[in-house]
Amino acid sequence: MIICGAPAWKGRIREGKHGSGEGGLKVDGDAGWGRINWSAAAGIFALSLILCVAFARFAKPLSVTDEFLTYYRVATNVADGMGFTEDGSSPYVYLPPLFSYALGGWFSLVGSRSLFAVQVYQSLCLALSAFLTFFLARELFPRSGGTAIIASLWVAVHPSLWTYAVFVRQEPTILLVTTLACWRTVVWLNDPGRVRALLAGVCWGLATLAKAVTLFLPVFLLFLWAWRGRRDVRMTGSETALAVIAFLLVLAPWTARNYLQFQRFIPVNDQAAGVLEWNVQHSDAPVDEGKGWVGLLIAQLKTKDPAKGELAGERYLVELDRAGVKDRERGSRLWSYILSHKKYFLVQRVRNAIFFAAPGVDWWIQSGRLKTGEAQGSGLFLAAALQFHGILYLFFFWRLLLLARGKLDLPMSFLVLFFALYWGVYTLLWGEIRFSIPVYPVLVLFAPWERLMRPKASVAADGPSIGGLRS
């Protein structure tokens, strides 16, 4: 049978030794079909890589901002053997280490530090993410080969992803390691084993070195085991503990380095003050005082550019800079500012949640095609938001409802809860649109691809025990 131009997974489905349902199903078939899957994944990788590199090559060059320069300087110092430092001598701790180390290694490998070398690295990260999405989908939906092809193609052609090939930013690296970690965790939950648990923990440690937002993983895995694992023989306490220990061991050397250099417990990077600064900088609390809850939200959704001094919060930070307020006193004043405008900053959490769910438009803004705040009024943006994000978030809430009713298997339950926690952390802390990029492949897989891609007669015959659903 051919689905969307590619052979469907051929073979018989057997019950795994650790249980029944989607997670316990394995597929036996000719070795040739395994080669077909690798060929399909390789084709998607090639398509994504060509798209990203071509865009990076022919797109209008962007101005290099301070943020881009910081990543670049640290990476070049890593390549020169000076370590994780911005100025070549003092240890650096503000940014997470993985992106700059990986980019510095890439510079050493290719012997070039040009902007195009950076863009090729970013393109590889994006293409490999689409490649891994294919195998993540195969683990979740083993009965539907077309699902893996369509879902990974969806990731490969999403404009918010491939336009990031031109930036010197860490999102493509975070996307790659997060997709890798999700895939390895689903593999482990589908087919338990100590080595698989160890690999899952290691991958999550790497993902956390890319972005500290996933520091919740050890507690989350222990919660998942306590909630579902004790009733599901596929997730044992010993393997869960092994995954948690592996996670902590990956972080331990970097955490120890930070403590030795700065005499403080810093698991990954010291960006706590930056979170406070961002929230105040992007606020217009005094101007919007007196508005109702809905009015405050509407005002906050009309994005203004803090770099132009349009926001009261940005002006407040300028006043602190002029007064030379730093360190603990600065943090204390920022907290006082937030607490004096509690209603505004509570509504800002809702704004953060909405922005997380929107497609990224950074390239359109940086290239001058859109001004800050214009996207919300653009019909093209709203159409893209609905197609690539809005519908998928509806499917996420559908999966969440199925989870509450106990209708999801363990791997899909993990992904749904992980996505909810990831979204929740950014809702509380930070509200940049691009922060949803690393979990976009997971969001894509919440759609009922297995039902959309299979004949109705086949679905009716098999019943609901497919695609993460439990019978």
Structural domain contains residue 201:
yes
Domain boundary among 353, 370, 395: 353
β-pair partners for 27: 13
**Number of domains making up the chain:** 2
pLDDT value, residue 468 = 66
pLDDT value, residue 266 = 93
Structural domain contains residue 81:
yes
**330 and 242 in a common domain:** no
Separation between Cα atoms, residue 410 and residue 188, nearest integer Å: 11
Separation between Cα atoms, residue 134 and residue 229, nearest integer Å: 26
pLDDT value, residue 33 = 53
pLDDT value, residue 109 = 96
**288 and 264 in a common domain:** no
Separation between Cα atoms, residue 407 and residue 139, nearest integer Å: 18
pLDDT digits (tens, 9 = 90+) for 153-194: 999 999 889 999 999 999 999 999 999 999 999 999 999 999
Structural domain contains residue 468:
no
Separation between Cα atoms, residue 452 and residue 144, nearest integer Å: 10
**363 and 310 in a common domain:** no
**200 and 106 in a common domain:** yes
**25 and 115 in a common domain:** yes
Structural domain contains residue 348:
yes
Greatest CA span in the chain, whole angstroms?
Answer: 72
pLDDT value, residue 335 = 93
Burial 309-348 (b: 16+ CB within 10 A, else e): eebbbbebbeebeeeebeeeebeebbeebbeebeebbebb
Structural domain contains residue 105:
yes
**318 and 265 in a common domain:** no
Alpha helix positions (H), 158-214: 159-162, 171-190, 194-210
Structural domain contains residue 437:
yes
**260 and 331 in a common domain:** no
pLDDT value, residue 192 = 92
- 3-class DSSP state of 7: strand
Alpha helix positions (H), 302-431: 312-323, 327-339, 342-356, 362-366, 379-385, 391-404, 410-429
pLDDT value, residue 364 = 80
Going from the C-alpha of 242 to that of each of 9, 25, 170, the distances in angstroms are 33, 24, 29
pLDDT value, residue 307 = 61
Domain boundary among 353, 373, 406: 353
Q: How many CB atoms lie within 10 A of CB 98?
A: 21
Going from the C-alpha of 90 to that of each of 74, 104, 270, 273, the distances in angstroms are 11, 17, 15, 19
Separation between Cα atoms, residue 220 and residue 89, nearest integer Å: 38
Domain boundary among 353, 386, 406: 353
Give average pLDDT by consecutive 10-residue segment, the chain, 471 residues. Answer: 32 36 39 71 96 90 76 94 91 94 96 93 97 95 86 92 91 97 96 95 98 96 86 84 98 96 92 85 82 85 67 89 88 92 91 88 78 66 76 94 92 96 93 89 90 56 51 47
Structural domain contains residue 469:
no
**291 and 151 in a common domain:** no
pLDDT digits (tens, 9 = 90+) for 324-373: 888 889 989 999 999 999 999 999 999 999 889 888 878 887 877 777 66
What is the residue range of 51's domain?
A: 2-278+354-462
**363 and 325 in a common domain:** no
pLDDT value, residue 377 = 63
Q: Can you spell out the DSSP letters for 260-324? A: HHHSS--SS---HHHHHHHHHHT--HHHHTT--HHHHHHHHHS---GGGT-SHHHHHHHHHHHHT
**365 and 341 in a common domain:** no
**151 and 295 in a common domain:** no
